[in-house]
Amino acid sequence: MTPEDPRIIALRQYREQARLGGGAERIATQHAKGKLTARERLDVLLDPGTFNELEPFITHTGDEMGIASEKFLGDGVITGYGQIDGRTVYVYAQDFTVYGGTLSEMQSHKICRVMDLALRNGVPIIGLIDSGGARIQEGVKSLGGYAEIFRRNALYSGVIPQISVMLGPCAGGAAYSPALTDLIIMVRKHSFMFLTGPEVIKAVTGEVIDSESLGGADVHMDLTGTAHLAAEDEQEALALTRRVIGYFPSNNVENPPFQPPVDDPLRMDLELNHIVPLDASQPYSMHDVIERVVDQGSLIEIQPTFARNAITALARMGGHTVGIVCQEPSVMAGVIDIDASDKMARFVRLCDCFNIPLVTFVDSPGFLPGVGQEHGGIIRHGAKVLYAYSEATVPKVTVITRKAYGGAYVVMSSKYLGTDVTYAWPSAEIAVMGAEGAVNILFKKQISSADDPVAERQRLVDDYRQRFNNPYFAARAGYVDDIIEPCETRPKIIASLGALRDKFSSAPPRKHGNIPM
């Protein structure tokens, strides 16, 4: 066929029509809001020239409320596959210029198709979400379409990485599908997630609120813990997506990609020997510790502003992906509360399902006491962390930097929860509780009947500290594998992970466990 062939000309015209989505005017409106179009987003996300579109000629089948005559090629979503750093990913990008990117029966068909292809080929699926949720004109067909997507989100969870990038107002199902995926990335001031928008809320409850305050990036990053990463603009969000996918294997039977390290695996950082203050009541920054231990420049903190008393992060050590879990002693002394439990448990499971070894740093006085926490279900939430660490079969290395008291010792990847290697720094304090609390409970009568109660109390506290507030009692009993100088931490962890690379561990056969939720 020649370029003048009418069939070629017709194809080119159809393609141009598909490219325009909801039309030039709506594209201009999208741009005026500071947003890219769905196709422009895919250009930024994928390696140049690698995108291949699927099903661009699909149109909706609705005939209610006057939409039968208004059809747009592609029906509000662009689907296909491409590459990120040379690795194949399947993608779908909702096109807000067509019925506000809303989900129709046929749009659901297109999304499910790329999800199925991603699963069949064992590669990640990335959704660029910009949608008003279920398309009103299609009624139950659009609701059923969402159910099809949710079911796949759930069934493919832990098999292929699923990433949702929120790039506009995401209402109803457009928020629920991402909530079932592994990572949600939002754009500040441009993306919102809510089940019912401000207008519905005002009508039902009388509450007046704008979209940003209801479901903006800050709300889901700081308050609800629904989002995992946030960017200042779309370009940054898409660049972040490219970066983060590089830490994950393409599926659950592969290992994460190895990136030859530029940072010496044997590097020792003498500053680490000075990080933990001599006074155990003084805080220090665990962020500082992990930055010094992992491959330089490789740390991506996940949920950095939610439950800041805990840290969850992806990083590389010796070029291999690791998941870092720890407390931040400079925030609420690193106690474990409800939100920190949820954050850590979910991250441990994310790493475990994608063969990402876990490195846990411990400095916590324990679970947060209080009526609010008890009545809020800290037992149920804390149990998630126990469950997640216990069932995780990936290599697990733990470093106790300072306090590992009571529940915090046990929960944070302790030896008999199945951790492979446990190191302690000389500053580690491994005990049922701190010295003051223990002495108050054990020696109340002895102190009150002493000639000098203050001196007696101090003597007992000092005695307790000598016995328990150090790593040697635990090391003698075989509860830590070695006591190391802080500066040795990086080479020790890298060597441990190297020795655990071929770890084989399996759980008893079962349909699935019943994690406390």
| Of 146 and 409, CB closest to ligand HXC | 146
Among 21, 74, 132, 357, binds ligand HXC (CB under 6 A): 132
Binding mask 416-455 for ligand HXC (x = CB under 6 A): ----------------------------------------
Stretch that binds ligand HXC, among 94-102, 119-127, 159-167, 465-473 (CB under 6 A): 94-102
Which of the residues 134, 171, 408, 428 is marked catalytic?
408
Residue 458: partners with Cβ closer than 8 Å, 6 or more residues away: none
Q: Can you tell me which residue has the tokens 């046929």?
A: 106
CB 96 within 8 A of CB 168: yes
Q: How far apart are CA 408 and CA 308, in angstroms?
A: 16
Q: Which is nearer to ligand HXC, 81 or 99 (CB)?
A: 99
- Which phi and psi (to 5°) does residue 87 adopt? -105, 135
Stretch that binds ligand HXC, among 128-136, 249-257, 397-405, 494-502 (CB under 6 A): 128-136
Residue 395 interacts with ligand HXC (CB under 6 A): yes or no: no
Is the dihedral angle over the CA atoms 89, 95, 98, 100 positive or is it negative? positive
Please work out, in degrees rounded to the nearest 5, the angle formed at the alpha carbon of residue 325 by the alpha carbons of 319 and 328: 120
- Shortest distance in whole angstroms from residue 402 CB to ligand HXC: 44
Question: Using CA atoms, how far apart are residues 512 and 491, in angstroms rounded to an integer?
Answer: 37
> Does the footprint of ligand HXC cover residue 257 (CB under 6 A)?
no
> Which of 80, 82, 127, 172 contacts ligand HXC by CB under 6 A?
172
70 versus 482: smaller Cβ distance to ligand HXC: 70
In the list 36, 73, 134, 358, the residue contacting ligand HXC (rule: CB under 6 A) is: 134
Among 35, 39, 60, 135, binds ligand HXC (CB under 6 A): 135
**Site for ligand HXC (CB under 6 A): which residue of 133, 161, 215, 334?**
133
What gap in Å lies between CA 423 and CA 414, rounded to an integer? 10
- 172 has catalytic annotation: yes
The residue from 22, 74, 76, 173 that is catalytic is 173
Spatial distance between the Cα atoms of 69 and 66, rounded to a whole number of angstroms: 7
Q: Does 408 participate in catalysis according to the annotation?
A: yes
- For residue 427, the tally of other CB atoms under 10 A from its CB is 21
Please tell me the distance from the alpha carbon of residue 472 to that of residue 503, in angstroms, as a whole number: 28
User: Least distance (Å) from ligand HXC to the CB of residue 196?
Assistant: 6
Start-to-end CA distance of the chain, whole Å, equals 61
Interface with ligand HXC by CB under 6 A: which range of 58-66, 171-179, 228-236, 390-398?
Answer: 171-179
CB 305, min distance to ligand HXC, A: 25
- Per the annotation, the verdict on 173 as an active-site residue is yes
* Touching ligand HXC, residues 37-76 (CB under 6 A): none
**Which residues neighbour 348 within 8 Å (Cβ) at sequence distance 6 or greater?**
323, 325, 358, 385, 388, 389, 392
Distance CA 176, CA 61 (A): 24
197 versus 471: smaller Cβ distance to ligand HXC? 197
Q: In this structure, are residues 211 and 198 in contact, taking their beta carbons and an 8 Å threshold?
A: yes
Among the listed residues 255, 408, 276, the one whose alpha carbon sits nearest the alpha carbon of residue 340: 408
Q: Which of 73, 171, 185, 400 binds ligand HXC (CB under 6 A)?
A: 171
* Span 138-167, contacts to ligand HXC by CB under 6 A: 143, 146
Q: Which residue in the list 407, 428, 431, 435 is annotated as catalytic? A: 407
Smaller CB separation from ligand HXC, 143 or 333: 143
User: Are 428 and 458 a contacting pair, CB within 8 Å?
Assistant: no
Which run of H or E residues covers position 421?
strand 421-424
Cα–Cα distance list, 288 to 275, 330, 443 (Å): 8, 11, 38
C-alpha closest to that of 371 among 405, 337, 343, 411: 337
- Name the active-site residue from 76, 172, 216, 318: 172
Q: Catalytic: 10?
A: no
Q: How far is the CB of 376 from ligand HXC (least distance, A)?
A: 25
Q: Which two structure tokens, joined as six digits, stand for 435? A: 């010295």
DSSP state of 271: G
Residue 471 is a binding residue for ligand HXC (CB under 6 A): no
Whether residue 79 contacts residue 91, with contact meaning beta carbons closer than 8 Å, is answered with yes
* Size of interface with ligand HXC, in residues (CB under 6 A): 18
Task: Considering only the stretches 96-104, 113-121, 277-285, 432-440, report the one whose residues sit in contact with ligand HXC under the rule CB under 6 A.
Answer: 96-104
- How far apart are CB 168 and ligand HXC at their closest, in Å? 7
Which C-beta is closer to ligand HXC: that of 210 or that of 452?
A: 210
Q: Cα(28)–Cα(25) distance, rounded to whole angstroms?
A: 5
Judged by CB under 6 A, the residue of 94, 102, 312, 419 near ligand HXC is 102
**Beta carbon nearer to ligand HXC, 184 or 244:** 184
Contact positions with ligand HXC (CB under 6 A) in 20-39 = 26
Query: Which stretch of DSSP H or E encloses residue 15?
Result: helix 6-19
Binding mask of the shown chain, residues 188 to 227, with x at each position contacting ligand HXC by CB under 6 A = ---------x------------------------------
Residues 6+ apart with CB under 8 A from 18: 56, 57, 73, 74
Task: Copy the structure tokens of residue 128.
Answer: 């660029």
Q: What is the set of active-site residues?
A: 172-173, 407-408
Residues that bind ligand HXC (CB under 6 A): 26, 99-100, 102, 132-137, 143, 146, 169, 171-173, 176, 197
